[in-house]
Amino acid sequence: MITGLKINTIWVLDQDSALEFYTKKLGFEVRSDTQMGPDSRWVTVGAADQPDLELALMLPGPPAVDPESAEQLKVLVAKGILGAGVMATDDCQATYEELSARGVEFVQPPKKRPYGVEALFRDDSGNWFSLTERSETLDESIGWD
């Protein structure tokens, strides 16, 4: 039986640059950084308050992706086509201002939505994320804490 999600892959174009972005700009902590062979490195980061979830900063390529698909995936990442997920915040406007000051590129400033307040940003590879402060009314109406 599946009990939850532990690691989620984020495709990146450069692991050193991505590691710096996720730790220095987003404030995540390094969970692992291990050389797995001459051409493979396992790098994960995560939010300090969420120890059960890690983001694997992966280069597209073998063994997970065949060489031809890896090249296509790199192009899609660099174009900013891939949305990698939603990052939660208690105060979207304040987090937007803090991350902007650290050099994070936002493609949409905070805007009110039916589910809360949302801003969109890109990581240094081109992946886009939603930064979302959920509204209490939405949380209550669907039973989320």
* 22-74 tens-digit pLDDT: 999 999 999 999 998 887 899 999 999 999 999 999 999 887 889 999 999 99
Whether the pLDDT of residue 141 is over 70: the answer is no
How does residue 136 score in pLDDT terms, banded at 50, 70 and 90? confident
Instruction: Give the three-state DSSP class for 110.
Output: strand
Higher pLDDT, 131 or 64: 131
In one letter, which amino acid is 36?
Answer: M
**CATH number for the domain whose boundaries are 7-134:** 3.10.180.10
Q: What is the pLDDT of residue 72?
A: 95
The arrangement of strands across the sheet holding 116-122 comes to 83-88, 128-134, 116-122, 105-113
Instruction: Please give the Cα distance from 145 to 29 (Å, whole number).
Output: 25
Q: How far is CA 85 from CA 55, 67, 82, in A?
A: 11, 25, 9
Kindly report the number of other CB atoms within 10 A of residue 145's CB atom. Answer: 4
Is it the case that residue 137 has pLDDT exceeding 70?
no
Q: Which residues, including other chains, have CB under 8 Å from residue 33's CB and lie 6 or more apart?
A: 19, 41, 42, 43, 44
User: Taking 50 as the threshold, does the pLDDT of residue 19 lie above it?
Assistant: yes
Tokens 């949302």 map to which residue?
Answer: 118
Q: pLDDT tens-digit profile of 90-124?
A: 999 999 999 999 999 999 999 999 999 999 999 99
Q: Where are the domains of the chain?
A: 7-134
| Per-residue confidence (pLDDT) for residue 105, from 0 to 100 | 95
